[in-house]
Amino acid sequence: MTPEELATTVDGLMDGLRADLVRLAEIPSIAFPGFPDGPVQEAHDLVAELLRDAGVPHVERLDLPDTAPVVYGEIPPPDPGAPTVLLYGHYDVQPPGDEKLWRSPPFEPTPIEGDGGGDGGGLRARGIADDKSNVIAHIGMLRAYGGRPPVGVKIVVEGQEEYGSAFDGYPPTDPDRFACDAMVIADLGNLRPGTPTLTTGLRGAAEVVVEVRTLDEPRHSGEFGGAAPDALLVLLKALATLHDVHGDVAVEGLRREEWAGTSYTEEEFRSLAGVREGMPLIGSGGLGERLWSGPAITVIGLDAPGVEHAASAVVPYARAKLNLRFHPRQDPVEARGRLVDHLRSLRPFGVPLTVTPGDTGPGYEAETGGPAYRAALTALKEAWGKEAAYVATGGSIPLVNGLAQAAPGAEVLLFGAQDSMCNLHAPNERVLLSELRDTVVAMGAFVREYAAAARGGDGSRA
């Protein structure tokens, strides 16, 4: 299929893809405790139905303990010389949060005007970008080829990605099922609308809890303050050592490197982060270095007396939960250990801290020199009309490492129909139809180019 034929075919499919995206986004498939299972099952069944209708001959359901069902499908390679590509997405979504902050009901997909460089507008709904647009993009590619793409295809659409599940570690236990030559992890998207983007790195993550107990119970601050050890002051003094005067992480041994790829402008980042006017950004160096190739430590929770009901008393106990993000190639246990050792070495005002390591997950950094990456660069340029940018992300996708372990020789590509301005996990999440259309074209062009490369471009196996 020529580039012109592919673009024309995808344009003809867009009305149907939009309608199916609306159907899928209407389902409140929230796989979190306390939410009903019915919508999750309904979304699973719809994805399986759409894959069968797109020509996938083998579609099955994978059930793992305490995990929403996974949709798995296979299309055999068209000939022995064709490579196999694994396509990944997820059909579950984040809870909507405070629905009063939404401009329209979160599970009623609502048309919006185009923004951020997109044409033709888009749709607003919870999960419509993350990740239901990417599930539909996979289906669109299959429809473009009439269910007979020039590569073998394995499709994995899970149903509990947002909450986490046993599926994260499952692929290495069943490597034959996930064996492939390349995989497209469609749970990310473009740096900005209209800028084709490959994500090449994911920071790792770890959590640590630090706590202080200094008194049996609160004591009158007038009678005892000034000598009785204040647990909250001890904790705050410890937390203040985690960053230097510029806001850079001051914990020794956490890897940091310059970022050579594309990044946000400061104006874009301020808008995306909702930084208030007049507020400085913290840290030094480029934004890519601060966000992707260097560490970040955030205090994500603090247990201490609340201001509204505070008594005039020395605080006997305080606790904080820390979230650490670290370089994609740093060992997760080592990175967490650096933070734990730093905190345990402290004695603020002579008081020891109790430090408890929490969960940790590895980052990921892709190799970018193989034939799948070359095919993807060609495909992204064909779809968007410009060269692709390279970025990383401070978020994590635990399943990426599981899939990479199951298929250690496979190239891992991360791109999709989202963009950084889509409000994923936030009120008023949206997807632009132009980004969805171009993602379908890019996926169609990728499998064409990758199949050709596997045959040396002339029909013979390279």
β-bridge partners, 184: 87, 413
Q: Return the structure tokens found at 339.
A: 């933070």
The verdict on whether 45 is a catalytic residue reads no
CA angle 370, 376, 377 (to 5 degrees): 95
Q: Which of 20, 92, 230, 435 is catalytic?
A: 92
Q: Which of 161, 230, 289, 382 is catalytic?
A: 161
* Helix, strand, or coil (residue 280): coil
Residue 23 to residue 103: CA distance in whole angstroms: 20
Taking alpha carbons only, the member of 442, 441, 437 closest to residue 414 is 442
* Helix, strand, or coil (residue 326): strand
How many C-beta atoms lie closer than 10 Å to residue 181's C-beta? 21
The verdict on whether 74 is a catalytic residue reads no
Those residues whose C-beta lies under 8 Å from the C-beta of residue 385, and which sit 6 or more positions away, are none
- What does the CA dihedral 257, 260, 263, 265 come to, rounded to 10 degrees? 90
Report residue 403: phi and psi, to 5°: -65, -40
Taking alpha carbons only, the member of 137, 45, 149 closest to residue 89 is 137
Show the beta-strand stretches assigned E in 19-103: 58-62, 70-75, 84-90
Residue 455 to residue 80: CA distance in whole angstroms: 11
Taken in order 276, 277, 280, 281, the sign of the CA dihedral is positive
Catalytic residues: 92, 161
